Amino acid sequence: MQTLDTFDWIAVGLYFLVLAGIAVWVIRKKQENTADYFLAGRNVGWFVVGASIFASNIGSEHVVGLAGAGAGNKLPMLIYEIQAWVVLILGWVFLPFYARSGVFTMPEFLEKRFDARSRWVLSVFSIIAYVLTKISVTIYAGGVVVSALLGIDFWTGALSTVILTGLYTVLGGMRAVVYTETLQAVMLVVGAAALTFIGLDEVGGWASMTETVTPEYLNMWRSASDPEFPWPSLLITSTIVGIWYWCTDQYIVQRALTARNIKEGRRGTIFGALLKLLPVFLFLIPGIIALTLKMRGELHWDSPDEAFPVLMSNLLPSGLRGLVAAGLLAALMSSLASVFNSCSTLFTVDIYKKLRPNTPEKQLVRTGQIATVFIVIIGIIWIPIMANISGVLYEYLQKVQSYIAPPITAVFLLGIFYKRINAQGAFITLMVGFIVGALRIVLELMKESLDPDGFLFLLGDINFLTFAAWFFLFCVVLITVVSLMTSIPSKEKIFNLTFQTISPEEKANNKNSYNWVDVAVSILIIILVAGVMLFFNGKSGFF
């Protein structure tokens, strides 16, 4: 493992100078109200929206974890990274409802469609979920990356990056987040692409790499009876998690809400979907390259999660190594900045403002800044516990998300597609769903001490993908039955908030917000996703 040299440090230093310049420029702009601080004044163009969506999604947990999945025989996890088609669902299906309702947050949308109870439940749960998944995983992955690159210990690397990112997020708000993320998206793509091309050249090309790892290794579709990744459960659960993450999660949707209008917002999601096709080539393939070199005795690493940083430090020339290191730091910082801002938005708008509705705007901004600090501290405390759940970081992330997603996806999907769904159905589904999800995490952690023949052991031991698929079906049945057994929702709760109740004026407005180019690019993205799915089939070609 080589550490950075002088030219590398120059590259890293230049990156941080540009980043600091953008942050200072944004911080000097006025942040007098919540629209400015939390949604960048709702005046962002499509390019910045799309780049921000991509950079928020691709954090260091993807760089480290997805390469680890490629190096550790977890190729079916790739399906979570080719969900560009689900990003399109955000722009074409969900975003018009969010923009029409004028909301800041996803819990706020639930209050408009259902009632305040659902808003409270989703607000509190979302903050807890961010700590369990995004914050702790990102800090952990960041610690791995920074300590490997800079030769410092894990906790020093993790904490220094958290403090630096927290500083510009607290001071600059959402505008600082989206503009720094645009730079970080460019850095990440350039750096990882360079590593992929140099790595493929090092192993003698794709054919030589495939010959070493065997074509079967490159199969993302395992049999329905596979104990780890049965393909029907993988396909269903990845879609459920994808709709939750891309279409209903504050972390991602907040970027689309910063757009100046629905047209720019939708185009931002289409651009984000196009960028979302890149991680397969930028992160997964370097993991397979690292495994190939290890099998040939040319590279060594102990854990699959070390594959990307070890490959990078050994293959890249001086200067370029620093550029990619800066890209990795960018990935870590963009993810942290996004989740910090989303947490402070949820706490301030959905909890603090609800309890104190007459609070001045400046005080709300200050409250959001203080909330960020507390969220970071809690995330750091969770890291040691997180290590027990799964050996591979990326798999841990998908496991926890598979337990969180089903009730939220069911409530949002049925909420906009079926006008008969009411507040009682939504509230009970969210409450029961979150209890079941929490129970599954606890049982998975303590299953070794349970009776192997008991029901609790079965619940904790069943494949996480299969569990999530059945869990989603349970949530759909629950919300439908409870809604049909209770009162019909009032007209103001469904007007313009379900497909069956959109006014003719809003239908016309929506139709005028896109053209043939938007439709054509969206169709192209779907074709490309299908192509990737067919290519990774364990054979030497598409068929």
pLDDT in tens, the chain (543 residues): 566 778 888 888 888 788 778 777 776 765 555 656 655 556 678 988 888 888 777 766 667 767 777 887 778 878 877 888 999 999 999 999 998 888 888 999 999 999 999 999 998 888 877 776 777 777 776 666 667 666 666 667 666 767 777 776 666 666 666 777 777 777 778 878 888 899 999 999 888 998 888 888 888 888 888 888 888 999 999 999 999 989 998 878 888 888 888 999 999 999 999 988 888 778 788 888 988 998 888 888 877 777 887 888 888 888 888 877 777 776 677 677 777 777 888 888 888 888 888 888 778 778 877 887 787 777 667 666 655 544 455 566 667 788 889 999 999 999 999 999 999 999 999 999 999 988 988 888 787 777 787 788 888 888 889 999 999 999 999 999 999 999 999 988 899 999 999 999 989 988 888 999 999 999 999 999 998 888 887 665 544
Question: What residue has token string 């140099």?
Answer: 198
Residue 230 bridge partners (DSSP)? 222
Q: How many CB atoms lie within 10 A of CB 17?
A: 9
Q: What is the DSSP letter of 388?
A: T
Rounded Cα distance between 467 and 230, Å, is: 12
Q: Which two tokens stand for residue 296?
A: 């040939």
Asked if 50 contacts 185 with a C-beta cutoff of 8 angstroms, the reply is: no
pLDDT at res. 96: 92
Rounded Cα distance between 449 and 454, Å, is: 11
User: pTM of whole model > 0.95?
Assistant: no
pLDDT at res. 72: 79
Asked if 40 contacts 173 with a C-beta cutoff of 8 angstroms, the reply is: yes
Helix, strand, coil shares, percent, the chain, to 5: 80, 0, 20
CB-neighbour burial class of residue 391 (10 A; exposed 0-12, middle 13-18, buried 19+): middle
pLDDT at res. 91: 92
The torsion region of residue 305 among left (phi > 0), alpha (psi -120 to 50) and beta comes to alpha
Asked if 373 contacts 438 with a C-beta cutoff of 8 angstroms, the reply is: no
Distinct helix (H) and strand (E) counts, the chain:
27, 0
State whether residue 496 is helix, strand or coil. coil
Rounded Cα distance between 155 and 455, Å, is: 40
pLDDT at res. 88: 94
Closest by CA to 97, choosing from 319, 206, 257, is 257
CA dihedral 317, 321, 323, 328 (to 10 degrees): 150
